[in-house]
Amino acid sequence: MANGTVAAAAAASGDAAATSYRLLIAERPAGDFYLSDEAVVRQWGVVEVFTKDIDNNPTFTISFASRGTVWRYYIFDQPPGPSSYSSYEVVGVRKRSGGADGASNSDIRFAKHPETVTVNGRTAFVFESRQTLPLAEVPNDDDYLFSFRPNGGSERGGRPVKLPFAQPTGTKIDATHEDAARMCSEIFVYL
């Protein structure tokens, strides 16, 4: 191999779906990487811990940021007919600062789909977050608050409704979006 040549050599790997490669630059190792034929959205990550030259009883703590997804609320009104919630909006509030993005208290915006949709024979208003939001196995009201509230165009006395958090079990690849790798968490709310 001539000086300045870049090559990748396969290394032994226990998993046939993901193979470890070593990047060689000028015949010297420059780093390792993995190559997999799995879709990117199915990869959660790779962690390798090398214990060479480490004490006999090492302790490791590995923290990962929560997966961010677009949250899509489906709001169903109980009585059939004209809805009293047609002028409501979904608003999320980030209550605690110091997150990974360093944001402080701020509104999390949701866009209302222009048309209602029918799910299992019931009409629903659809609201989708304009940014990705983190998932949590056990959500905490100290960090975020989501509500369905009058947007100022409804009659007086409209009360806000506290909304549930997205759950990992309701998360899937968003087939309605042009980005094939975008993840969406669907939340169904019956009022």
Q: Output the pTM of the full model.
A: 0.62
Confidence of residue 99 (pLDDT cuts 50, 70, 90): very low
Q: Which residue has the higher pLDDT, 35 or 18?
A: 35
In this structure, of 19-23, 115-119, 147-151, the range with the lowest mean pLDDT score is: 19-23
Choose between 18 and 150: higher pLDDT.
150
The contacts of residue 131 (CB under 8 Å, 6+ apart) are 70, 108, 109
Q: What is the pLDDT of residue 74?
A: 94
| Per-residue model confidence (pLDDT) at position 30 | 74
Residue 52: its pLDDT value, please?
Answer: 62
Q: In the prediction, which pLDDT does 105 show?
A: 55
Averaged pLDDT for residues 169-175: 82
Strand partners, 185: 71, 171
pLDDT at 47: 66
The pLDDT score that the predictor gives to residue 3 is: 42
Mean pLDDT of the chain: 74
* pLDDT at residue 57 is higher than 80: no
Q: Which amino acid is at 100?
A: A
- Name 97's Cβ contacts closer than 8 Å, sequence gap at least 6: 103, 104, 105
**What is the per-residue pLDDT across 26-55, written as a single tens digit (0 to 9) for each?**
777 777 777 766 655 555 566 666 666 666
The residue with tokens 């009659």 is: 155
Q: Identify which of 109, 143, 145 has the alpha carbon closest to the alpha carbon of residue 127.
A: 109
Boundaries of every domain in the chain: 1-64, 68-190
Measured from the Cβ of residue 25, the count of other Cβ atoms closer than 10 Å reads 14
Quick one: average pLDDT of 78-83? 70
